[in-house]
Structure 1
Amino acid sequence: MTDHDRPRRLPELTAAPVEVPIASATSVSANGLRVVAVRMPTVPMVELRMTVPFAGPDRRHAARADLLSSCLMTGTRSRTRLDLDTDLAVAGAALGAAAGPDFLTFAGSAPAEHLPTLLDLLDDVLEHAAYPVGEFDGERDRLAERLRVFRARPGVRAREALLAKAFGAHPVTFEVPLAKDVAALGVEEVRALHRAAVSPRGSVLTLVGDLDPDTAIDAVGAALAGWTCPRPAAVLERFEPVRPSPLQLVDRPRGVQSQIRLVGNSVARSDPSYPAAKIANLVFGGYFSSRLVENVREDKGYTYGASSLLDSGIAGDMLLVALDTARETTAAAVLETVYELSRMVTTPPTAAEVDAARQYAIGALSISLSSQSGLAGTVAGMQTVGLGLEWLTEHPRALATVTVDEVGAAAAALFGAHRFTGIVQGDAASLTDSLQSVVGVVS
């Protein structure tokens, strides 16, 4: 065999580069709207994201907000639904809205030359959304039906039960409205909500693409100058930290699968320990090569997939753990999950585990920032939790330099089964005895 025929040694992995935007600008318009513009001329397009704080006190508000977002594009004083769709299509643009417990969000895109058209359509919807009765009734009925179907999913019900156990009646638990609440809404309620709560004061509009940042900000100021509201946007209040407690068994009669959901406290993305916490979470369950996946999927075969997630938002920060398993293996899967949570403290992440997770984290961040859409989503999310554009440079550097000891300290602070609460959703008649034998469960 010649040297040419022999397998060649692969080069060592190096940190994936993370490109930083070459130009950006930030300003606050006269109406209180914060505008962030970032130049990324990879293709002649512009991505638009806008977040309007849109909190409310109860699930009925969640129903009104969800219906409002579904009906925003059904017509304005001067444009029918068909007119809006046609104007977007002619410009090669897109625009849509969605609502959650914290924000009313807008997402859109357009060729760079048609950004003025996109901004004009956005302004028309913000200022003059009409909610035509015929369109409204149809959207309300369709949304109610979609919610009935969506809420029947075991994972949706499990997450709702988990958030309710951890945070009580805090609005963060009202992620999915009740179909009956949507079905009972009238058009005047939604129109009143729009007038009172769709406010520029406290909102953030992000533009990323083939643009001059200062010129883009001026264009937003001119296009949306007439958008006003009598009060600032409603910011979601922070929830209380998670209080550790025994798991709660949520009955799902005759369910052949069980949903295991746990939640603990995490750290904010602005916290100096966040990069270490991110790496520690990856080692535990944040990607396919994690300890939890290796144990409950690869070794034991209890589940097809298991995951953990650092969830940072305006209302607070939490660490979520999720897996589904067969009814017969539920108790064993809970036991192994508790074991892995504790092992993060008793057996801290090794240098090899940290390096592998580090490479994954930097690579995933690089990929997420490589497109205009990905960068726009990242920048918009950063704005909601008070992070500046410098985070795009500082965070990958921190991931690249975080030490094994720092990751171990973060693991000790966040993990350990004693730091969590959670639920097991499944057939209580079959699960109660087995769960009580391995871990304390409150029925």
Structure 2
Amino acid sequence: MSELASEPLNTAPGAQARPELQRGTGMSRTAEEIGRTERGPRPLPPLGEQRATGDLSSVDTVLANGLRVLAVHKPTVPMVELRLRIPFAAADAATAAKHAAVGELLAETVLTGTARRDRVAIDTELALVGGELGASVDPMRLSMAGSALATGFDTLLDVLADALTGATYADGEVARERDRLVERIALAGSQPRTIARKALQRHRYGNHPYVYEMPEADDVAEVTADEVRAMHAAGVLPRGAVLVVVGDVEPQQAVAAVDKALSGWTGDATARKLAPLPDLPGGDLLLVPRAGAVQSQFRLSAQSIGRTDERYPALQLANLAFGGFFSSRLVENIREDKGYTYHARSGPEFTSSGATLQVDADTASEVTAPALLEIRYELGKFAVLPPTEEELETVRQYAVGSLLISTSSQPGMASQLASIAELGLGIDWLTAHPARLQAVTHEQIADAAREFFAPGRFTGVIVGDPDTLAGLDVLGGVRR
């Protein structure tokens, strides 16, 4: 609490304000001065009691066309959020590169026109109800996300249904978006983080369809409108997909509205899920050369567990303590103490069949070897000296508070539910998760630290200029 808040101003007639509070004096106090008193640093106020998410009325059902609908009544503001997730994986490794190229262009053009509306009509109708709708794709799914005023929910659903059942992918629209996409991919492909991510994917999974997160520009340049239309007809299917609706609408009414709007969206087949990924063994890091680079990108990865595993709450807290937020051990070491990096973090990466644990950092080339030494040191130390009771309580409060904050808004709740609905989970799992985090013991978080953060469990890549990375050969465990 600041001095201004703890000491009321003297507002009696004729009273003289303190000099540091007068405007135009040019006097101000530093953050350190504000945070101290004559008796020493001001103590931080205690955290308030965490309030659980209130009871939320919801409906979780499967429609006749095979679409699962999860509707939650959350009247925070007079809006409605929707999230549609359609499994959209390539059939096999041989077709994955082409699938990625066509799929990316499909996502870019699915809302550019239908048999009933052109691009302008789509944008106009959504704007009139305070709405928006967008699409994206990755190796696992085609996603559509939107929002609108609660009074415009039917319009939002009508536009969505029109795109799902009547997108035309006009030749001109596809050609324009294809040219733009080729330029964007070419630009993104030169970025260090993109290079590092692609290298990590190849190192971890070889030619598995999951590797094709970003298509090659040359592949996109060859995509035709006919191929996009064919992919939509074959792959944009309701059976196996999930639609989440959160907002100021009664759940039963929301489901009825969805059923009415999307009844024409049908298909005999089931949307294709991503083939399971192989388990990731630990091993050497691969040095990926990038001549002339002034920075190096570390991307370490280890096999992990998904949200449905009973050990997950302890792992979630252990990850926060290691590198999952700003006051974590990894950040304190290589960013705050050593100054090797501005960006360092650890965290989970979930797929439909499992999860991995990532450790990422970007460093200057000249400190690449020392940074790797410190990352390995922190991993080993974390496994041998797991989080203390004090660390556990800090990350517990952070995790519970962050979850409650993220689910307090309609967009946050919708996105959280969409991410777990693909696993067959629903609102009950999400609202019960704070209690699971509260129940984690010091012994459980210590077990998670030992099991999942041992240095030998990790593999990955380092992207940088080999000519400037002195010392890596001395450390070992890095192959060229």
1:312 is the counterpart of 2:350? yes
* Aligned with 2:473 (options 430, 433, 436): 436
1:412 is the counterpart of 2:450? yes
Structure 1 window deviating more from structure 2 (155-164 vs 279-288): it is 155-164
1:365-380 equivalences under 5 Å are 365-380=403-418
- For 2:376 and 2:295, locate their aligned partners in 1 and report how far apart those are by CA, in whole Å: 19
Helix, strand or coil: the match of 1:272? coil
Counterpart for residue 296 of structure 2: 258
Q: CA deviation at 1:157?
A: 1.0
Does the aligned pair in 2 maintain the 1:15–1:400 contact within 8 Å? no
* Aligned with 1:213 (options 251, 268, 289): 251
Helix, strand or coil: the match of 1:166? helix
* Aligned with 1:24 (options 58, 61, 77): 58
Which string of whole-angstrom CA distances, capped at 9 and with x for unpartnered residues, describes residues 98-118 of structure 1?
Answer: 000101000000111111111
Structure 1 window deviating more from structure 2 (311-320 vs 22-31): it is 311-320
Does the aligned pair in 2 maintain the 1:15–1:359 contact within 8 Å? no
- For 2:54 and 2:425, locate their aligned partners in 1 and report how far apart those are by CA, in whole Å: 15
TM-score, with length taken from structure 1 = 0.97
1:93 is the counterpart of 2:131? yes
Helix, strand or coil: the match of 1:236? coil
What is the letter of the counterpart of residue 324 of structure 1?
D
- For 1:410 and 1:184, locate their aligned partners in 2 and report how far apart those are by CA, in whole Å: 48
Counterpart for residue 13 of structure 1: 47
Identical aligned residues as a percent: 47
1:393-412 equivalences under 5 Å are 393-412=431-450
* Aligned with 1:331 (options 363, 369, 376): 369
What is the letter of the counterpart of residue 394 of structure 1?
A
Counterpart for residue 186 of structure 2: 148
Counterpart for residue 347 of structure 1: 385
Q: CA deviation at 1:313?
A: 2.2
What is the letter of the counterpart of residue 391 of structure 1?
W
Structure 1 window deviating more from structure 2 (55-64 vs 15-24): it is 15-24
- For 2:182 and 2:54, locate their aligned partners in 1 and report how far apart those are by CA, in whole Å: 43
Structure 1 window deviating more from structure 2 (116-125 vs 170-179): it is 170-179
What value does the CA root-mean-square deviation take over the aligned residues?
1.4
1:39 is the counterpart of 2:73? yes
Structure 1 residues 357, 94: CA separation in 2 closer, same or farther (over 3 Å shift)? same
Does the aligned pair in 1 maintain the 2:291–2:466 contact within 8 Å? yes
Counterpart for residue 335 of structure 2: 297
Q: CA deviation at 1:386?
A: 2.2
- For 2:476 and 2:82, locate their aligned partners in 1 and report how far apart those are by CA, in whole Å: 48
Higher normalized contact order (CA 8 Å, seq sep 6+, divided by chain length): 1
Counterpart for residue 16 of structure 2: none
Q: CA deviation at 1:14?
A: 4.6
**Structure 1 gap ranges (5+):** none
1:102 is the counterpart of 2:140? yes
Structure 1 window deviating more from structure 2 (59-68 vs 20-29): it is 20-29
* Aligned with 2:207 (options 166, 169, 185): 169
Counterpart for residue 14 of structure 2: none
Structure 1 residues 275, 15: CA separation in 2 closer, same or farther (over 3 Å shift)? farther
Does the aligned pair in 1 maintain the 2:283–2:477 contact within 8 Å? no
Helix, strand or coil: the match of 1:305? strand
- For 2:141 and 2:379, locate their aligned partners in 1 and report how far apart those are by CA, in whole Å: 32
Which string of whole-angstrom CA distances, capped at 9 and with x for unpartnered residues, describes residues 120-158 of structure 1?
Answer: 111100000000111110011001111111111101110
1:52 is the counterpart of 2:83? no
